[in-house]
Chains A and B, each alone.
Chain A
């Protein structure tokens, strides 16, 4: 009996948990706050002891300096171009494949699907060297197509969309077919609109992953004009490795677009992540 009343109103424990969560949140935010704080400091102040949270002489001009030091604006534009193109291509390519797997009958369907899925077991570093050689042979080093095309298809995306399309009642498709719609019309006018939540999740997931992608653009670009944000940031570190205000300014600029994307779609991003886990059951 006492156990029950205790579990019905566990107030003191709730307070403790809340305080722990608050302390944890501070630890999670701390590095971001320090990043922002350093980005506004003049060079001389970052070495001062004891450290100050906010500079008495803030230097917003750090945010102009970075664009004149390296082509950082171009890098941000490149990241936007690559991430947007990859996202759009994946939505088209994966949803078409998912439609075939979920809504059409054909010989070898299970086998092809299994082969696509098996790609999930292949770490991207395994295909890195052959893909690099291929892109180099094609003369696509320092090109947008070299940055974009290897990512235009994803097994994960196809799997995610197929699982979602499977839940669409087949009666809807039959009805459309009886009305004389062809497969392309069923795909574009019926299935795609109904799959919108999953497409949204995949879009946000892909965009964030591409924006943060590093190793592939690192090895396939050499001109500063073709660098994406992450690579530009790393090369900034190589050139100015003690200019912490400048490095932190670059980091802030690399992070802010993702914060915006995440703020807009954190629910569908998280649902994309968890969908993969339940699908595996």
Chain B
């Protein structure tokens, strides 16, 4: 076959490839790439959607970091992430270890623990708001049946609202961590355990010396995914507390929603969105950089 024929084929293949990419490229440009650039540009403007945007230099960013509510929002979000992520991972790991023993009812348990993950967070938030209702909720009724007299006001108390939200998100998210840990556990070769058992290693030793190190790539992945996901908490706050009482449960995404779609401060909301973007970006880059250092691959 001539060179001309080959390159004609290659060119045809190239043309075909771009045709196959056309729908995704258009959608990607319109709904992802351009919006990311626009969000960045909008964050330097004052814009209420009704009048023309006004260029405002770094005003939004300066206002943001002097805004006591935004500081509280960052603090709340960090507190939420710092509590929810480790709890979710620990419980998810324990469930995965329990389910990896080949016990009766294993697939039933797996489905039950995973169920909240596929359930609408709005519905989950509603039922938990009902459970946490300070007067007639099942939790406080149960506590008073047990003899408690000082009942927490949960969602209407600035002290207890955040712990309640954290409880719900751990309940909803642990199944996700569990499924990933289970996949990681099932990836560890069984003969390593058999060799260790022959050498007289106890179950405890095998867990610390084999399971945990060999699970570390997955642990690291779950950690980063959970951190990124947790920084984006919104629905539970929307349904359970509406960021209250007195901003006690206001979080980064709720703040973006509030400023953008309740106060129509598009520039200000975009600046807050850029802060979220930066956090997620750093988490992702840390994942790439640190993977080799902390993580044992087999």
Contact B116–A28 (Cβ < 8 Å): yes
**Residue B257 lies at the interface, judged by CB distance under 8 Å to chain A:** yes
Contact B39–A129 (Cβ < 8 Å): yes
**Residue A54 lies at the interface, judged by CB distance under 8 Å to chain B:** no
Cα distance A104–B13 in the bound complex, in angstroms: 7
**Residue B235 lies at the interface, judged by CB distance under 8 Å to chain A:** yes
Contact A277–B130 (Cβ < 8 Å): no
Contact B131–A126 (Cβ < 8 Å): no
Q: Given A122-B32, A129-B270, 4 other A-B contacts at CB below 8 A?
A: A38-B130, A100-B21, A132-B261, A152-B23
Stretch at the interface among A63-71, A193-201, A206-214: A206-214
Contact A94–B24 (Cβ < 8 Å): yes
Contact A233–B123 (Cβ < 8 Å): yes
- Taking Cβ atoms with an 8 Å cutoff, the residues of A that contact B are 1, 3-4, 6-7, 10, 13-14, 17-18, 20-21, 24-25, 27-29, 31-32, 34-35, 38, 46-47, 49-51, 92-94, 96-97, 99-100, 104-107, 109, 112, 115-116, 119, 121-134, 136, 149-150, 152-153, 155, 158, 182-184, 187, 208, 211-212, 214-215, 219, 229-230, 233-234, 237, 244, 247-248, 250-251, 254-255, 258-259, 261-262, 266, 269-270, 273-274, 277-278, 280-281
Q: Out of A29, A93, A150, A219, name the residue touching B112 (CB < 8 Å).
A: A29
Contact B123–A254 (Cβ < 8 Å): yes
Contact A149–B31 (Cβ < 8 Å): yes
Contact B27–A28 (Cβ < 8 Å): no
Q: Contacts A17-B103, A119-B32, A128-B273: A92 and B127 contacting too (C-beta < 8 A)? A: no
Query: CB-CB < 8 A to B261: which residues of A?
Result: 132, 219
Contact A127–B35 (Cβ < 8 Å): yes
Contact A131–B17 (Cβ < 8 Å): no
Q: Contacts A96-B23, A280-B221: A214 and B118 contacting too (C-beta < 8 A)? A: no
CB of B4, distance to nearest CB on chain A (Å): 18
Q: Out of B34, B171, B200, name the residue touching A3 (CB < 8 Å).
A: B200
* Nearest 5 interchain pairs by C-beta: A130-B35, A127-B35, A153-B27, A130-B38, A251-B123
Query: CB-CB < 8 A to B128: which residues of A?
Result: 31
Q: Out of A34, A153, A255, name the residue touching B130 (CB < 8 Å).
A: A34
The residue on B at minimum CB distance from A241 is: B129
Query: CB-CB < 8 A to A7: which residues of B?
Result: 197, 202-203
Contact A258–B200 (Cβ < 8 Å): no
Q: Out of A17, A105, A254, name the residue touching B98 (CB < 8 Å).
A: A17
Q: Contacts A104-B20, A234-B239: A248 and B232 contacting too (C-beta < 8 A)? A: no
CB of B247, distance to nearest CB on chain A (Å): 19
Query: CB-CB < 8 A to A28: which residues of B?
Result: 112-113, 115-116, 171, 175
Contact A112–B266 (Cβ < 8 Å): no
Q: Out of A126, A136, A187, A248, name the residue touching B273 (CB < 8 Å).
A: A126
Query: CB-CB < 8 A to B211: which residues of A?
Result: none
A-B contact pairs, 23 of them (CB 8 A): A4-B198, A6-B202, A14-B101, A17-B98, A25-B109, A28-B115, A50-B145, A93-B27, A100-B21, A105-B10, A121-B280, A123-B280, A126-B273, A136-B49, A155-B32, A187-B20, A211-B120, A229-B120, A234-B239, A254-B120, A254-B123, A274-B179, A277-B184
Contact A123–B228 (Cβ < 8 Å): yes
Cα distance A127–B198 in the bound complex, in angstroms: 56
The residue on A at minimum CB distance from B295 is: A281
Contact A125–B253 (Cβ < 8 Å): yes
**Residue B166 lies at the interface, judged by CB distance under 8 Å to chain A:** no
Q: What size tier do the contact residues of chain B reach?
A: 35 or more
CB of A2, distance to nearest CB on chain B (Å): 9
Q: Which of A94, A125, A261 has the most CB of B within 10 A?
A: A125
Cα distance A112–B225 in the bound complex, in angstroms: 24
Interface of A is mostly: helix
CB of A213, distance to nearest CB on chain B (Å): 9
Query: CB-CB < 8 A to A237: which residues of B?
Result: 126, 239
**Residue B63 lies at the interface, judged by CB distance under 8 Å to chain A:** no
CB of A173, distance to nearest CB on chain B (Å): 11
CB of A83, distance to nearest CB on chain B (Å): 12
Query: CB-CB < 8 A to B179: which residues of A?
Result: 270, 273-274
Cα distance A212–B234 in the bound complex, in angstroms: 13
Q: Which of A127, A259, A278 has the most CB of B within 10 A?
A: A127
CB of B81, distance to nearest CB on chain A (Å): 14
Query: CB-CB < 8 A to B101: which residues of A?
Result: 14, 17
Cα distance A281–B36 in the bound complex, in angstroms: 27
Contact B115–A32 (Cβ < 8 Å): yes
Contact A158–B24 (Cβ < 8 Å): yes
Cα distance A107–B161 in the bound complex, in angstroms: 55
The residue on A at minimum CB distance from B37 is: A130
The residue on A at minimum CB distance from B28 is: A153
Q: Contacts A25-B109, A107-B14, A255-B123: A215 and B257 contacting too (C-beta < 8 A)? A: yes
Cα distance A240–B21 in the bound complex, in angstroms: 48
**Residue B79 lies at the interface, judged by CB distance under 8 Å to chain A:** no
CB of B27, distance to nearest CB on chain A (Å): 4
